[in-house]
């Protein structure tokens, strides 16, 4: 195969239109961060992101936990074009790393999404949110991002909040972001329907994996979103990264990704690979994205495992005598025990104003979780992290 430079194949991809087009891609991450690229015959399919006009490979990079620019460079050199970060990741260092890496690179050679958490309870919300986004742009050393998501909305009300919508529209009108969206761990079909109703959101970043109990309802809502021109990006595709609650064995990420890509309404997945090996594993899946019988068998075998992924069904919140924010606590548990990322775990819990002693005075826990989590044990195993000094957390 002829050597095709990066800009050339991106422009070819842009010309070729929608759907399951396949573009030639660069090397496996064997290039390991060198700007030298080598010729390969591997290809990754691309899909259109709703009505944004953005066409990207089905594999993208969730940069959240990555702190090695060489892995980022290897992903870019391997032909990935879409990178996902957030204002809060690594206390801003994640955006700074991306800014330093992309500085001087052709702005048309990549797409960048960032996210910002909105404090709608603040009287000063508008000014604070604007400052948050301006800070992100400064760190990224960019005039604009391709997508700005309002981060981690967990209810319909915040999706439809008029102050939120006004700020997102303002950011877009000012040219600070080309497109606007929201991210959600809650995965409620009604959030998608609310987003459609606003007519404002162009992209939704959702948790999407084979373990979701509400898959039929969610898929139907995603279809309605796609019909309305919204693009969908998938996160949490690897269900916490480990096969069981003990966290002893890594999940087969390639099988998880191939399962996600079966749904043509998911434009791209953003696994958070942090090493060359994990990148190679994801690339291998993207080069051969068809779900195999062995994948189906493997994933079926995991269906009954407890694993670490909380469905966000919220049935526990009603059962808990203190109505604790258990889904978010379980996410923090996953960050620590699945992702080995204790600082993010602490950050998630601190945002909830937890003390580390949440279940005290509650003699017996009657909370029944469909995912099989022993809720009070898990709370006891993770919430004390809020009292651990940051210097001891990775």
Q: Does 316 bind ligand SF4 (CB under 6 A)?
A: yes
Calculate the dihedral angle through the C-alpha atoms of 363, 366, 371, 376, rounding to the nearest 10 degrees: -10
Q: Which is nearer to ligand SF4, 12 or 381 (CB)?
A: 381
**Residue 313 in contact with ligand SF4, rule: CB under 6 A:** yes
Nearer to ligand SF4, 312 or 343 (CB): 312
Query: Which tokens go with 330?
Result: 């379980």
In sequence order, the β-bridge partners of residue 150 are 116, 182
Compare residues 87 and 188 and give the one whose CB is closer to ligand SF4: 188
Binding mask 291-310 for ligand SF4 (x = CB under 6 A): -------------------x
Which residues on neighbouring strands pair with residue 47, listed in sequence order?
56
Q: Which residues pair with 177 in a beta bridge?
A: 145
Q: Which of 359, 374, 388, 393 binds ligand SF4 (CB under 6 A)?
A: 359
Find the part of the chain contacting ligand SF4 (CB under 6 A) among 37-45, 267-275, 279-287, 364-372.
Answer: 364-372
Q: Are 119 and 125 in contact (CB under 8 A)?
A: yes
β-pair partners for 242: 250
- Minimum distance from residue 13 beta carbon to ligand SF4 (Å): 39
* Residue 56 binds to ligand SF4 (criterion: CB under 6 A): no
Among positions 189, 315, 352, 393, the unique one binding ligand SF4 when judged by CB under 6 A: 315
Tell me, letter by letter, the H, E, C secondary structure of 42-65.
CEEEEEECCCCCCEEECECEECCC
Cβ closer to ligand SF4: 271 or 327? 327
Binder among 209, 312, 343, 345 for ligand SF4 (CB under 6 A): 312
7 forms part of the interface with ligand SF4 (CB under 6 A): no
Choose which of 64, 66, 205, 379 interacts with ligand SF4 (CB under 6 A). 379
Separation of CA 303 from chain center: 22
**Alpha-carbon span 79 to 101, nearest angstrom:** 15
Is the distance from CB of 192 to CB of 225 less than 8 angstroms? yes
Question: Other C-beta atoms within 10 Å of 173: how many?
Answer: 9
Q: Which CB atom, from 146 or from 358, has the smaller least distance to ligand SF4?
A: 358
The Cα 74–Cα 25 span in angstroms is 12
Return the number of the residue (78 or 312) whose C-beta is nearest ligand SF4.
Answer: 312
**367 touches ligand SF4 by CB under 6 A:** yes
* Apex 126 CA angle, 123 and 130, nearest 5: 140
User: Which residues would be at the binding site for ligand SF4 (CB under 6 A)?
Assistant: 310-316, 320-322, 324, 326-327, 330, 359, 362, 365, 367, 369-371, 373, 375-376, 379
């Amino acid at each position: 195969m002829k050597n095709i430079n990066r800009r050339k194949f991106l422009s070819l991809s842009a010309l070729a239109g929608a759907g399951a087009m396949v573009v030639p891609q660069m090397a496996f991450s064997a290039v390991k961060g060198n700007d030298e690229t080598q010729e390969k015959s591997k290809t990754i399919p691309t899909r259109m992101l709703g009505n944004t006009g953005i066409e990207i490979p089905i594999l993208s990079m969730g940069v959240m936990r990555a702190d090695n620019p060489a892995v980022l460079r290897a992903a870019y050199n391997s032909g990935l074009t879409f990178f996902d970060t957030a204002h809060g990741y690594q206390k801003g260092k994640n955006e700074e790393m991306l800014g330093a890496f992309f500085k001087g690179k052709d702005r048309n050679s990549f797409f960048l999404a960032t996210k910002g958490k909105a404090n709608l309870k603040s009287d000063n919300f508008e000014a604070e949110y604007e400052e948050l986004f301006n800070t992100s742009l400064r760190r990224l050393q960019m005039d604009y991002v391709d997508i700005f998501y309002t981060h981690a909305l967990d209810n319909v009300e915040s999706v439809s909040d008029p102050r939120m919508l006004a700020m997102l529209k303002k950011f877009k009108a000012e040219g600070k972001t080309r497109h606007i969206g929201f991210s959600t761990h809650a995965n409620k079909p009604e959030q998608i329907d609310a987003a459609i109703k606003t007519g404002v959101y162009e992209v939704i970043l959702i948790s999407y994996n084979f373990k979701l109990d509400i898959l039929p309802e969610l898929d139907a809502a995603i279809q309605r979103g796609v019909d309305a021109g919204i693009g969908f990006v998938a996160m949490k595709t690897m269900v916490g990264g480990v096969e069981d609650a003990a966290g002893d064995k890594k999940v087969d990420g390639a099988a998880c990704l191939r399962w996600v890509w079966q749904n043509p309404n998911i434009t791209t997945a953003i696994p958070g690979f942090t090493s060359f090996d994990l990148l190679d594993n994801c690339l291998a899946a993207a080069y051969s994205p068809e779900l195999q019988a062995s994948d189906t068998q493997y994933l079926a075998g995991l269906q009954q495992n407890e694993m670490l992924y909380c469905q966000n069904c919220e049935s526990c919140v009603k059962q808990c005598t203190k109505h604790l924010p258990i889904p978010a606590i379980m996410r923090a548990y996953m960050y620590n025990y699945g992702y080995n990322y204790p600082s993010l775990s602490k950050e998630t819990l601190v945002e909830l104003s937890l003390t580390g002693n949440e279940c005290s005075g509650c003699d017996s826990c009657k909370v029944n979780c469909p995912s099989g989590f022993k809720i009070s044990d898990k709370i006891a195993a993770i919430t004390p992290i809020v009292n651990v000094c940051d210097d001891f957390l990775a």
